[in-house]
Structure 1
């Protein structure tokens, strides 16, 4: 069955941090990964793309075209489910995702800064 949703695409490192935050918080909807490990796609409600403005990410309008949600077959070629569809969270709330991505970016920045200081000692 086609699922009306948009896709928020983020770099994998930031996306993985956000997934961890969301799993321990308000919940995460289905998340796709590409086979190269470069990016993750969060399924969000339709219409999210109209106002999505998070730097370093993009939001694509799908209008449900070609998206068939099922744990056995991811809806994109050369990808798979990091978090498969389940019944309790159909999509990730865009406001919650925005906050998690911001926190993830800050965490990565701090980790990189700490690592840089350790290497210069």
Structure 2
């Protein structure tokens, strides 16, 4: 998982990280609506990170995910992601918004989990 970064008041966004499989399904579900904000992938390919509004960390309680603060703007200089060791799955300039709505993300993750659980049951 991506590590939290210290920041000052008013700096940055929060980052919700999830396993890649559920994250990709959630991205697809979010695209059916308004679309997600910027989305990161980590260097190992194990997690995706959704940029959400600052303050989400204090009220994020979704099993199988983590929410941590990030420092600075959504994109560092020259379009670099705000977290070392990551790349853009959906870069800020291609995202539907500057962040993903936490309520929409929460619902997309729940739906994605149900969908993937149903697929897993069908395979057995």
Specify if TM > 0.5. Answer: yes
Unaligned runs of at least 5 residues, structure 1: 117-121
- The structural deviation recorded for 1:88 is 4.3
With structure 2 as the length reference, what TM-score do the two structures score?
Answer: 0.83
Unaligned runs of at least 5 residues, structure 2: 1-9
Which one has a bigger Cα radius of gyration? 1
Runs of 4+ more than 4 Å apart: none
Matched, 1:45 2:53: yes
Matched, 1:56 2:64: yes
User: Are the aligned partners of 1:3 and 1:68 in contact in 2 as well (CA < 8 Å)?
Assistant: no
- Residues 30 and 24 of structure 1, relative CA distance in 2, 3 Å threshold: same
1: CA distance between counterparts of 2:105 and 2:21?
Answer: 15
- The structural deviation recorded for 1:3 is 5.6
RMSD: 1.9
SS at match of 1:108: helix
SS at match of 1:103: helix
1:7 alignment counterpart = 15
User: Are the aligned partners of 1:3 and 1:69 in contact in 2 as well (CA < 8 Å)?
Assistant: no
Aligned length: 113
Q: For residues 27-106 of structure 1, what are the structure 2 equivalents within 5 Å?
A: 27-62=35-70, 65-67=71-73, 69=75, 72-86=79-93, 88-106=96-114
Matched, 1:113 2:116: no
